Amino acid sequence: MEVILRPDAEAAAKLAAKLVARQLRRKPDSVLGLATGRTMERLYAELVRMHREEGLDFSLCRTFNLDEYIGLPVTDPHSYRHYMNEQLFRRVNIDLRNTHLPDGMATDLGAECERYEELIRSTGGIDLQLLGIGESGHIGFNEPLSSLRSRTRDKSLMPETLAVNSALFGGDVEQVPHRAITMGVGTILDARFILLLATGPRKAVILAKALEGPVTSMVTASALQLHPACRVILDEAAASGLQEKSYYRWIFENEPEWAPYRG
């Protein structure tokens, strides 16, 4: 795992976007794993800018989102399909038929989860998986005690997660669906590269546990320590609880790979 610190949320999102763009330029038909949430909005805005101003091409790429609420039609403005369409898909030259989210309206949820896993597999697996982290330590919606080998399945969300996510439902926690289909931790760990972006002081406590604490299903993001190619990009506020910040800064200043991104 490599942890990279940037001064603020804008700089962190821009660096993450540059790494996504590099992946797309190296392999235009990349399979991207995507996340939703407020952290990703800056990153997607930057990708849209790169598409418009620098010709970043999405025409061949395929995408799989981590999760979708159960029981929200895709037309619902709170659905993750709606979020993705608005934040990214409609604003770049991606073929919507190449964009996939779990179907939270499926009548047979088990079959839908198997279909999603199979589709990821038959598309060749995920090249680059983007992640945020919840204050419960979740990646995707893998709440505490999710098996670190779990696959795509339906999960109940923690009350804490419902409370945090209610901000996007007008503050009314009753409106937040209590369940979602999510890729499992095992599904996420299958990605060839992983990029976690986290910003803001509210993530500081859980990031210290996830990155520098023991690997435990109580903090599913800690499983990323087992992945051979995982990068974590943080702003200083999110990193404030970490012990090895000076080492992480040293990596960014000294590793040759980061030279093009230092300016």
Residue 38 or 249: the one with the smaller Cβ distance to ligand F6R is 38
Please, is 13 exposed, middle or buried when counting C-beta atoms within 10 Å of its C-beta (0-12, 13-18, 19+)? buried
Should residue 87 be labelled a site residue for ligand F6R when binding is judged by CB under 6 A?
Answer: no
Q: How wide is the angle at C-alpha 109 spanned by C-alphas 153 and 154, nearest 5°?
A: 30
- Out of 15, 20, 43, 139, the only residue in the binding site for ligand F6R (CB under 6 A) is 139
Should residue 140 be labelled a site residue for ligand F6R when binding is judged by CB under 6 A?
Answer: yes
Distance, in Å, from the CA atom of 83 to the CA atom of 85, rounded to the nearest integer, reads 6
**Residue at shortest CB range from ligand F6R:** 132
Asked if residues 73 and 43 have their Cβ atoms less than 8 Å apart, the reply is no
The span of 7-15, 24-32, 46-54, 126-134 binding ligand F6R (CB under 6 A) equals: 126-134
The span of 13-21, 130-138, 227-235, 245-253 binding ligand F6R (CB under 6 A) equals: 130-138
The span of 3-11, 93-101, 132-140, 147-155 binding ligand F6R (CB under 6 A) equals: 132-140
The span of 52-60, 86-94, 117-125, 127-135 binding ligand F6R (CB under 6 A) equals: 127-135
Asked if residues 112 and 118 have their Cβ atoms less than 8 Å apart, the reply is no
Should residue 82 be labelled a site residue for ligand F6R when binding is judged by CB under 6 A?
Answer: no
**CA 165 to chain centroid:** 15
- The single-letter code of the amino acid at 26 is R
Residues of this chain, 19-78, that bind ligand F6R according to CB under 6 A = 35-39, 66-67
Asked if residues 195 and 128 have their Cβ atoms less than 8 Å apart, the reply is yes
Residue 67 or 235: the one with the smaller Cβ distance to ligand F6R is 67
Residue 145 or 257: the one with the smaller Cβ distance to ligand F6R is 145
Should residue 146 be labelled a site residue for ligand F6R when binding is judged by CB under 6 A?
Answer: no
Which DSSP letter does residue 32 get?
E
Asked if residues 30 and 124 have their Cβ atoms less than 8 Å apart, the reply is no
- Only one residue has tokens 């299903």, namely 217
N residues, the chain: 263
Site for ligand F6R, rule CB under 6 A: 35-39, 66-67, 132-134, 138-141
